[in-house]
Amino acid sequence: MPVQLKSTYVFIFTATVTFVAYSWWVFGVMGIAHFTGPDALVQIGRAISSLIILGYAFEICVLFAVGIFGVKVFKNTKEDFTLDERDEQIGYKSLHYSHLVLCSGLFLSIGALALGWSAFWVFNSMVLAFYLSVVAELATKLFLYKRGL
Amino acid sequence: MTKLLITNEIRKLRFENGEMTQKELATKVGVTRQTIVAIENAKYFPTLELAFKIAGIFEVKVDVVFSYNPS
């Protein structure tokens, strides 16, 4: 299996773990009641900032670990990690679909705000849109790598 | 509606050039082996630059390697 395909699976894993952990923390541990009242926006901001910082940190750590594992165990060389024109085109196409999903989600969230949804649900619908855009990007990559561009 | 179809003779040319492997060709033109596999199976159409590089490796013109057959 090419390194690019492996890293796509790793990204799916890290994105899912990150967003499941976020959902568990916000809805399970803290509870919706924590995000109501005068400090609601501050609490939501903290939760989303933590999601972004910890999510990226987790992703970077996992990618490094998988990269080192690949070099040590599978004897991957520098060439295996090199991206060529096909990888770039697959990347652009996946970003295109990711962008469409993200923009649709953001516009729907703005619409929900106009309909009177609380800030908590609007922010979380934006987070969901972000997650779905990541899923759309990675699913497109998997599809194009397997089926061809 | 016209369907575009670009076919190629890379597999044949590889075998005519000392049974060159996909990996060897990929290294010579600076792409991954998966890209050569995708091109051979007509799942990816290379850029002009890569098409010229591939033709250059086999020392033939581009239209010997790639053919355009609108059906």
Domain segments of chain A as ranges: 3-147
Rounded Cα–Cα distance for residues B65 and B12 (Å): 9
Contact at CB, A86 and B27, closer than 8 angstroms: no
Rounded Cα–Cα distance for residues A14 and B21 (Å): 36
In B, which residues are within 8 Å of A149 by CB distance? 38, 43-44
Rounded Cα–Cα distance for residues B47 and A92 (Å): 15
| Cα separations in angstroms, A50 against A40, A131, B66 | 15, 15, 52
Q: What is the pLDDT of residue A90?
A: 92
Q: What is the DSSP string of B1-44?
A: -PPP-EEE-HHHHHHHTTS--HHHHHHHHTS-HHHHHHHHTTS-
Q: What is the pLDDT of residue A103?
A: 96
Where does the pLDDT of residue A106 fall: very low under 50, low under 70, confident under 90, or very high at 90 and above? very high
Q: What is the pLDDT of residue B2?
A: 52
Domains of chain B: 10-62 (1.10.260.40)
* Interval A130-137 mean pLDDT: 93
Average pLDDT taken over every residue of chain A: 87
Per residue of chain B (71 residues), give pLDDT as tens: 555 588 899 999 999 998 999 999 999 999 988 899 999 988 889 999 999 999 999 999 999 999 988 76
Contact at CB, A149 and B43, closer than 8 angstroms: yes
Contact at CB, B32 and A82, closer than 8 angstroms: yes
In A, which residues are within 8 Å of B30 by CB distance? 84
Q: Higher model confidence: residue A30 or residue A93? A: A93
Contact indicator for B10, B38 with CB cutoff of 8 Å: no
Q: What is the pLDDT of residue B53?
A: 95
Q: What is the pLDDT of residue B71?
A: 64
Q: What is the pLDDT of residue B3?
A: 58
Q: Say which of B35, B41, B43 has its CB closest to residue A84.
A: B35
In A, which residues are within 8 Å of B46 by CB distance? 85-86
Q: What is the ipTM of this complex?
A: 0.77
Rounded Cα–Cα distance for residues B26 and A85 (Å): 12
In A, which residues are within 8 Å of B34 by CB distance? 2, 4, 86, 145
Q: How many CB pairs under 8 A join A and B?
A: 35
Say what the pTM is.
0.79
What are A65-94's pLDDT values in tens digits? Answer: 888 888 888 777 777 777 889 999 999 999
Residue of B nearest to A5 (CA): B34
Q: What is the pLDDT of residue B10?
A: 94
Contact at CB, B27 and A79, closer than 8 angstroms: yes
Residue of A nearest to B37 (CA): A148
Going through chain A in order, the beta strands assigned E by DSSP cover none
Share of chain A above pLDDT 70, in %: 99
Q: Higher model confidence: residue A148 or residue B52? A: B52
* Interval A126-148 mean pLDDT: 90
Contact at CB, A85 and B31, closer than 8 angstroms: yes
